[in-house]
């Protein structure tokens, strides 16, 4: 279908995002409804395609749901909601089953799925496709979506704001969501995509930070849009830093998977060669990510290092190449042979544990708006995500949102007449450099002040910068025609503010939120819920 025809087509549901969560929801909805999937940039531009690890599920004979639940709760430092963890863990095996039916070529061991183990898990329970699971999953979901007559995929659409009652021709303060205004990146015009129900699957806010493994588009768009529309946001201070991102000035954001440590890799001081993890935790390299990331951060700050070494060269070369073919090839192309020498690594922002508050049906606070995946706070991850639970959350909540919409379809009204986007007062921007400057500034102060180790003073400094930038960006936004860069900058700044505000409110250290001013963990775990 040509995009120009789309104004005459009424879709039943708009899904924002084309990763694991969005496409899972779209495929389930398409059994009965007409679905439009919008993607910023390319359809494969999200985080799903980059997930190296795998998907956690209880599939091993000796493993139990109880143990997967307990491992998730331990990693989440008690901040998880038990009913959510139970709900997701119990649905994991069937989610894997559906992916097998879609043709995802998981590694096998005889007739059974091959299971690997990662930090924080008490059992081998990670199904994977070598070290590129996400790419295989993304391909299978996209192919199924392309084959579905009820799904229309529209890339190159940068979503700006959710359409609420305030945008109805006959103004309403209802807060009901009727779709989204999106910038057509090709024409430069803003289009209104309306539907009876909207599913937000926009991913995380990792690009708020200078070092991040997230793709370029992870600018917190969905979280910021939902917040502006009136939805509550929870636990945004819980930003996960992956302990081991390749340190290379040419190649940005190349992740060295957790499984390298799971299969015996050691972390060492790059000058002395000393293995330092046993000094920090008896689990050494297999401690949860927040512990490992803080230890590396401590080594880097204490000794003035640029990076530390991750070394698996003591394992047989064939073993290393067979387990990590993609990482091995990538590193060889950069002149590093991981079978013979260590890999330079630094921590990098990796996963947004907080987000738009949702219930077990994927419902947000706003009628007609559902959300799934990394843009949400469902209660699954708590204060720290357990490895390979993230793709799992996408499948389970993508399905849950779709199921709730299908079950209650008769209660969804048709969208009322909606006002067109007003472009009358804007001019083309003459100052692209302003956007770039602000973007760089945000990412730098967030890395320095709101990173792995925090203090109240650092957080206050960050908030001061955010408040100054708010005025600048708002003025800029009002006067100039929107571009993807400007939309992202506005969302990035809003996400940064939510992270800092949440961090200032938590007067304890728990999981990923570690502050020198409140090193103790309080007896009762409470979510940081921000109300617009």
Summarised one tens digit per residue, pLDDT across range 60-70 is 989 999 999 99
29 close to 13: Cβ distance less than 8 angstroms: yes
The C-alpha angle 479, 481, 484, rounded to 5 degrees, equals 125
Cα separation, 115 vs 95, whole angstroms: 16
Indicate if 505 belongs to the active site.
no
Q: Is the pLDDT of residue 455 over 90?
A: yes
**Over the Cα atoms of the chain, what is R_g?**
22
Summarised one tens digit per residue, pLDDT across range 30-65 is 999 999 999 999 999 999 998 878 999 999 989 999
Q: Is the pLDDT of residue 2 over 70?
A: no
User: 474 Cβ partners below 8 Å, 6+ apart?
Assistant: none
350: which 2 tokens? Answer: 């990796």
What is the pLDDT averaged over residues 208-234? Answer: 95
Can you give the pLDDT at residue 429? 65
Q: Is the pLDDT of residue 6 over 70?
A: no
Catalytic residue (one of 289, 443, 490, 506): 289
Summarised one tens digit per residue, pLDDT across range 65-97 is 999 999 999 999 999 999 999 999 999 999 999
Q: Mean pLDDT lowest for which of 67-71, 285-289, 359-363, 485-489?
A: 285-289
297: which 2 tokens? Answer: 């951060």
Can you give the pLDDT at residue 478? 85
Per residue in 512-528, is it b (16+ CB within 10 Å) or e — as a string?
Answer: bbbbeebeeeeeebebb
Can you give the pLDDT at residue 66? 96
Cα separation, 291 vs 273, whole angstroms: 20
Phi, psi of 209 (to 5 degrees): -105, 155
Closest CA to 240 of 193, 283, 205: 205
Closest CA to 221 of 493, 19, 531: 493
User: 478 Cβ partners below 8 Å, 6+ apart?
Assistant: 425, 426
Cα separation, 304 vs 441, whole angstroms: 23
Can you give the pLDDT at residue 460? 98
Can you give the pLDDT at residue 430? 66
Can you give the pLDDT at residue 63? 94
Can you give the pLDDT at residue 4? 42
Integer distance in angstroms from the first to the last C-alpha of the chain?
Answer: 38
Q: Is the pLDDT of residue 7 over 50?
A: no
* Element at 486 (helix H, strand E): helix 484-505
Q: Is the pLDDT of residue 334 over 70?
A: yes
* Element at 225 (helix H, strand E): helix 221-229
Q: Mean pLDDT lowest for which of 251-260, 299-308, 511-520?
A: 251-260
Q: Is the pLDDT of residue 8 over 60?
A: no
Can you give the pLDDT at residue 345? 95
Average pLDDT along the chain: 93
Can you give the pLDDT at residue 248? 87
Q: How many residues does the chain have?
A: 532
What is the pLDDT averaged over residues 493-506? Answer: 98
373 close to 397: Cβ distance less than 8 angstroms: yes
Number of H helices, E strands in the chain: 14, 21
Summarised one tens digit per residue, pLDDT across range 197-217 is 999 999 999 999 988 888 889
| Alpha-carbon distances, residue 282 vs 278, 292, 366, 415 (angstroms) | 6, 12, 45, 58
The predicted model scores a pTM of: 0.91
Q: Mean pLDDT lowest for which of 33-37, 241-245, 307-311?
A: 241-245
Q: Is the pLDDT of residue 171 over 50?
A: yes
Domains in the chain: ranges and CATH: 11-235+352-409 (3.50.50.60), 242-347 (3.90.700.10), 430-521 (1.20.58.100)
């Amino acid at each position: 279908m040509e995009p120009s025809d789309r104004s005459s087509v009424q879709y039943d549901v708009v899904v924002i995002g084309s990763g694991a969560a969005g496409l899972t929801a779209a495929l389930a909805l398409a059994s009965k409804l007409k679905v439009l999937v919008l993607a910023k940039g390319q359809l494969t531009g999200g985080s799903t395609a980059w997930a190296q690890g795998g998907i956690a599920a209880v599939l091993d004979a000796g493993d139990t749901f109880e143990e997967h639940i307990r491992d998730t709760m331990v990693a989440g430092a008690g901040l998880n909601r038990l009913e959510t963890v139970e709900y997701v863990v119990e649905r994991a095996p069937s989610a894997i089953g559906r992916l097998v039916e879609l043709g995802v070529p998981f590694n096998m061991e005889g007739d059974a799925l091959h299971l690997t183990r990662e930090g924080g898990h008490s059992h081998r329970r990670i199904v994977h496709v070598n070290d590129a699971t996400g790419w295989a999953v993304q391909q299978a979901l996209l192919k199924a979506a392309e084959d579905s007559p009820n799904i229309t995929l529209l890339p190159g659409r940068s979503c700006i704001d959710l359409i609420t009652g305030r945008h109805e021709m006959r103004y309403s303060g209802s807060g009901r969501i009727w779709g989204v205004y999106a910038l057509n990146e090709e024409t430069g015009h803003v289009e209104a995509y309306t539907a009876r129900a909207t599913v937000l699957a926009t991913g995380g806010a990792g690009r708020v930070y200078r070092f991040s493994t997230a793709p370029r588009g992870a600018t917190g768009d969905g979280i910021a849009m939902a917040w502006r529309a009136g939805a509550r946001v929870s636990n945004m201070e819980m930003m996960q830093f992956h302990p081991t991102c390749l340190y290379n000035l040419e190649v940005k954001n190349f992740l060295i998977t957790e499984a390298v440590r799971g299969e015996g890799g050691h972390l060492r001081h790059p000058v002395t060669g000393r293995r330092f993890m046993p000094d920090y935790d008896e689990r050494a390299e297999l401690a949860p990510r927040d512990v490992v990331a803080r230890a590396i951060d401590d080594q880097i700050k204490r000794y003035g290092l640029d990076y530390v070494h991750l070394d698996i060269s003591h394992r047989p070369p064939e073993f290393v190449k067979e387990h990590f073919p993609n990482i091995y090839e990538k590193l060889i192309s950069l002149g590093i042979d991981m079978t013979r020498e260590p890999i330079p690594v630094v921590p990098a922002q990796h996963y947004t544990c907080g987000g738009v508050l949702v219930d077990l049906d994927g419902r947000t606070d706003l009628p007609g708006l559902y959300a799934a995946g990394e843009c949400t706070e469902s209660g699954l991850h708590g204060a720290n995500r357990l490895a390979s639970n993230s793709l799992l959350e996408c499948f389970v909540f993508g399905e849950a949102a779709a199921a709730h919409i299908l079950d209650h379809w008769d209660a969804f009204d048709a969208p009322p007449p909606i006002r067109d986007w007003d472009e009358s007062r804007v001019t083309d921007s003459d100052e692209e450099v302003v956007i770039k400057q602000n973007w760089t500034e945000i990412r730098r102060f967030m890395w320095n002040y709101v990173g792995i180790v925090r203090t109240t003073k650092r957080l206050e400094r960050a908030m001061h910068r955010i408040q100054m930038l708010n005025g600048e960006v708002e003025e800029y936004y009002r006067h100039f025609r929107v571009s993807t860069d400007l939309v992202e900058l506005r969302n990035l700044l809003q996400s940064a503010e939510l992270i800092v505000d949440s961090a200032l409110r938590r007067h304890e250290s728990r999981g990923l939120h570690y502050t020198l001013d409140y090193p103790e963990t309080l007896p009762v775990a409470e979510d940081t819920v921000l109300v617009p």
